[in-house]
Structure 1
Amino acid sequence: MTYSEQLLDAIQNHDFSQDKILLKKALDNDSPEILSSLAENLTGYGFTNLAKEVYRDLIAKFPQEDLFKVYLAEILLNDGNDDDGLSLLFDVAKTSPAYLDALLVEADYYQTNGFIETARQKLIEASKIAPQEDAIKFGLAELDYLDGQYEEALTLYQDLIERQKTFGEVNLIQRLFQTEAKLGQYEEASQVIKEHTGDILDIDSKYQAGLVMLAVGDYKKAITYLDEVIDQSPDYVNAYPLLAQAYEHEHDNEQVLRSAQAGLAYNELDETLYSMGARAAANLNELDTAEDLLVKGLKTAPDNGDLRLQLSNLYLHEGKNDENIKLWQDLEDEDVEPQAHWNLAVSYARLDQREQAKSEFLLAYPEFQNNVDFLRQMILFFNSEPNSSDVMQQLLERYLKLVPEDEEMQDLYNQL
């Protein structure tokens, strides 16, 4: 057994007492081929400090073997020793057999550090040397995808998938349908998903598949994928709003509510889930649950106007007029939207606080002057207000233009 093999066996057995001694003996006695394999294995096991010693020894013994420089440079760059790593790579001549490997390592380094165009130039240069090399095509595809050049990325991913479904740890099927989706080609993306269902295994791929199927209106498939995501990882919080949305399209209020409540258990800051859950609860006539969700949602997000308005609508439905009025009292006038003024007008009218109701109806009027439901409510209110004939005439004329067949309103107009 070689000293390199003894060292690797000791590492596998978690015996690190002799690693320095065995490494020195390996460097002094083992062949260059065995040492090269040792360095590769040490790198794979994560013992990069030992691997660096081996590569430095090999470089000293065989300075013309540039590949050892490339391997050492890659370790140094991963360790954050950029200057020494890049110096080794730049030392590799264009005529060297290892020049292609050096370009790939450089491209990876520049991409990792956000220098997309520099990385692209390195890969383009590499592609001229080895135009059929899949590692180069994959690198260019990833750069194009990151840079938003989805058409170019799509062509490369389609070519790669003809030979393999994954590259390293990257699921190419996921990349393909994600790229289609980025281009707005959701139908094509969904077709890729349907054709490669068995290849969509990792949780992120399933989430993205659910997102695409939701976009094309295949809600049952979206539910299947999103359920799998949550089964695999219940704290995958982004899946819950999409799942609730899919169930909403299926008119399954019970599942919408259940999805919203489950999602809020993991992320109580999700304002969308409060809204969707409350809407589903209201549809199920579980008004206490709807109110509880909206109150909690507003405590979490007091500036969320949609939640506030949703709660206001619920209060009106429940006849809780005092609560509805209180809901808007602390807001500045400019922060109260027209629908809120309409809701307040109704509550004040029910409480016979007529001056406040009149004011709120007038504030809401510019926004809802073509809304027949609003106009009808406002007409019925002002019909019992003294000295309102001019307002009534204007309101009735506008209303009857929209609903000329309303005999009750026509009779009111005739009486004027």
Structure 2
Amino acid sequence: MNTLEQAIQYIDEGRAEEGLKILETIVQKGTDEEKYYIARYYHTLGFLEQSLVIMEDLCLLYPEESELTLFLAELYIDFDREDEAIEALNHVNEGDDLYVQALLLLADLYQMQGFDEVAEQKLLKAKEKLPEEPVITFGLGEFYSSRGDFVKAVPYYMTLLPEHTEMGDVNIPLRLAEALSALGKWEEAISYYEMGLKEHKDIHTLFGYAFTLYQAQLYQRALPVFLELKELDPQYSALYVYAAHCYEEEGMLQESYETLREGLKTDEFSVEFHVRLADAAAKLGKTEETEAALLEALALDPGHLEAVLKYIYVLKQQGKYEEIKEAVQIAGENGEDDPQLTWDLANAEKELEQYSDALNHYRDAYTSFKDNLSFLEEYGYFLLEEGMRQEAREVFGRLLQLDPAQAHIEELLYNLEDLQN
């Protein structure tokens, strides 16, 4: 047994102090080959500084040895000294056997620094050098996926299949499924999800598969996947909204409602859950529950437009016009000034016989709703009731321009002309 082997044996046996002293002696007096081996060994032990000192010396002695250069670059990366790693790797010659490996490391480094275009060039150069190398093909797929450029990523993942279904810890069919799903190619993605799930299944992958089925409007197939996900992780709150919608699409309104109630327990501060629960309650005719859910949503976010509009609709059904005015005011105080709120306010003021205020708000809303037939008819009748016949004729005239088939409006305009004459 030589001295180096003895030192390693001592360390393996727990006699670390003795072993490390021997290694220090070899570093001072040993051959360069032994020093390189010790640098590698130090690296495995986590003695990065000692390893780096050795490698910097060796690379000064042997600048053309690309194996040493690559290891030095890896050490620089360990110390977050990316610029020095890049400088070292750029010294590897194009004709070197390890040139492609250097390109791949450079691509990672440039991407880490935000230089995506340079990283892409390095990867494409590596692909040009070794066009059949699956690691490079995979690297390009991962690079484009990380940038959200799934159109470019998909062909690289497809090239890997069916020979390569796993690269490192990555399941290629699932990566491909995710990319296709991100592109809205739901039907294509489904088969790759099913292929990948045979080998790898976790909650996020299951959700991706269920969501893709959902997006493809395959609600009967999506629902059991969402329910399987719920069994694995009942706190995965996102699944409940989609599972509820699947139930709704299958005509199972009570199940949809109960699913949302169950989901709300996982995230009681979610405005989305309260709004969706209100929708489900409304479909079941549960007026009190609908209003209560919307009030909960608005307590969490008083300016949430969808919740405000749905709440106003419920109030309108009950003739609660003062409450509508209050809801619009609160929304405005929270920065929401959607034109629909102005229309709703005008309508409420009309019903409360606050005609002057209603007129002002109808006029404000007109700019946004001058192409809305329902608004024009409501506004026109309001003007008529207020004795403002000329303005009413203009509004009704606008309505007929948009929809000449409105015979009752045409007759009304005709009668107004008669009265004018």
| TM-score bracket for this pair, using the shorter chain length | 0.7 to 0.9
Number of the residue aligned with 2:8? 4
Number of the residue aligned with 2:105? 105
The residue identity in structure 1 corresponding to 2:163 is: R
What SS is found at the alignment partner of 2:198?
Answer: helix
Pair 376,251 (structure 1): closer, same or farther in 2 beyond 3 Å: farther
Unaligned runs of 5+ in 2: none
Pair 121,195 (structure 1): closer, same or farther in 2 beyond 3 Å: same
Number of the residue aligned with 1:85? 85
Number of the residue aligned with 1:22? 19
**In 1: Cα distance, 2:119 partner to 2:300 partner:** 44
**In 1: Cα distance, 2:56 partner to 2:372 partner:** 83
**In 1: Cα distance, 2:257 partner to 2:76 partner:** 53
Number of the residue aligned with 1:48? 46
Is the Cα contact below 8 Å between 1:39 and 1:55 reproduced in 2?
no
Is the Cα contact below 8 Å between 1:89 and 1:106 reproduced in 2?
yes
Q: How does 1:26-175 map to 2 (within 5 A)?
A: 39=40, 43=44, 47-49=45-47, 53=51, 56=54, 60=58, 63=62, 66-175=66-175
Using the TM superposition, give the Cα deviation of residue 175 of structure 1 relative to its aligned residue in structure 2, in angstroms: 1.8
Is the Cα contact below 8 Å between 2:157 and 2:172 reproduced in 1?
yes
- Percent pairwise identity: 24
**In 2: Cα distance, 1:51 partner to 1:5 partner:** 22
Q: Deviations over 1:336-388 (max 9, x none)?
A: 555445544554455555665666666666766787766777788788x5757
What SS is found at the alignment partner of 2:47?
Answer: helix
Pair 360,353 (structure 1): closer, same or farther in 2 beyond 3 Å: same
Number of the residue aligned with 2:190? 190
Q: How does 1:254-333 map to 2 (within 5 A)?
A: 254-261=254-261, 263-267=263-267, 270-330=270-330, 331=332
Is the Cα contact below 8 Å between 1:342 and 1:364 reproduced in 2?
yes
Number of the residue aligned with 1:202? 202
Pair 313,55 (structure 1): closer, same or farther in 2 beyond 3 Å: same
**In 2: Cα distance, 1:248 partner to 1:37 partner:** 66
Pair 392,67 (structure 1): closer, same or farther in 2 beyond 3 Å: closer
Q: How many residues are paired up?
A: 403
Number of the residue aligned with 2:177? 177
Runs of 4+ in 1 over 6 A off after TM superposition: 27-35, 365-383, 388-401
More off after superposition, 338-347 vs 169-178: 338-347
**In 1: Cα distance, 2:364 partner to 2:125 partner:** 67
**In 2: Cα distance, 1:132 partner to 1:305 partner:** 54
Pair 325,128 (structure 1): closer, same or farther in 2 beyond 3 Å: closer
Q: Deviations over 1:197-251 (max 9, x none)?
A: 4245133322322332222111233334444445444554544544444444444
Pair 369,40 (structure 1): closer, same or farther in 2 beyond 3 Å: same
More off after superposition, 164-173 vs 368-377: 368-377
Using the TM superposition, give the Cα deviation of residue 105 of structure 1 relative to its aligned residue in structure 2, in angstroms: 2.0
The residue identity in structure 1 corresponding to 2:326 is: K
**In 1: Cα distance, 2:9 partner to 2:159 partner:** 40
**TM-score in terms of structure 2 length:** 0.73
The residue identity in structure 2 corresponding to 1:122 is: K
Pair 3,386 (structure 1): closer, same or farther in 2 beyond 3 Å: closer
Pair 345,251 (structure 1): closer, same or farther in 2 beyond 3 Å: farther
The residue identity in structure 2 corresponding to 1:76 is: Y
Using the TM superposition, give the Cα deviation of residue 182 of structure 1 relative to its aligned residue in structure 2, in angstroms: 3.8
**In 2: Cα distance, 1:118 partner to 1:137 partner:** 17
Q: How does 1:382-393 map to 2 (within 5 A)?
A: 385=385, 387=387
Is the Cα contact below 8 Å between 1:227 and 1:243 reproduced in 2?
yes
**In 2: Cα distance, 1:129 partner to 1:28 partner:** 43
**In 1: Cα distance, 2:257 partner to 2:297 partner:** 14
Using the TM superposition, give the Cα deviation of residue 311 of structure 1 relative to its aligned residue in structure 2, in angstroms: 0.6
Using the TM superposition, give the Cα deviation of residue 309 of structure 1 relative to its aligned residue in structure 2, in angstroms: 1.0
Is the Cα contact below 8 Å between 1:39 and 1:54 reproduced in 2?
no
**In 2: Cα distance, 1:196 partner to 1:34 partner:** 45
Pair 352,340 (structure 1): closer, same or farther in 2 beyond 3 Å: same
More off after superposition, 129-138 vs 179-188: 179-188
**In 2: Cα distance, 1:355 partner to 1:375 partner:** 18
Is the Cα contact below 8 Å between 2:6 and 2:19 reproduced in 1?
no
Is the Cα contact below 8 Å between 1:36 and 1:55 reproduced in 2?
no
Pair 294,359 (structure 1): closer, same or farther in 2 beyond 3 Å: same
What SS is found at the alignment partner of 1:114?
Answer: coil
What SS is found at the alignment partner of 2:131?
Answer: coil
The residue identity in structure 2 corresponding to 1:22 is: G
Using the TM superposition, give the Cα deviation of residue 26 of structure 1 relative to its aligned residue in structure 2, in angstroms: 5.7
Pair 280,19 (structure 1): closer, same or farther in 2 beyond 3 Å: farther
**In 2: Cα distance, 1:392 partner to 1:199 partner:** 69
**In 2: Cα distance, 1:394 partner to 1:337 partner:** 25
Pair 33,155 (structure 1): closer, same or farther in 2 beyond 3 Å: farther
Is the Cα contact below 8 Å between 2:174 and 2:197 reproduced in 1?
no
The residue identity in structure 2 corresponding to 1:71 is: F
**TM-score in terms of structure 1 length:** 0.74
Pair 36,282 (structure 1): closer, same or farther in 2 beyond 3 Å: farther
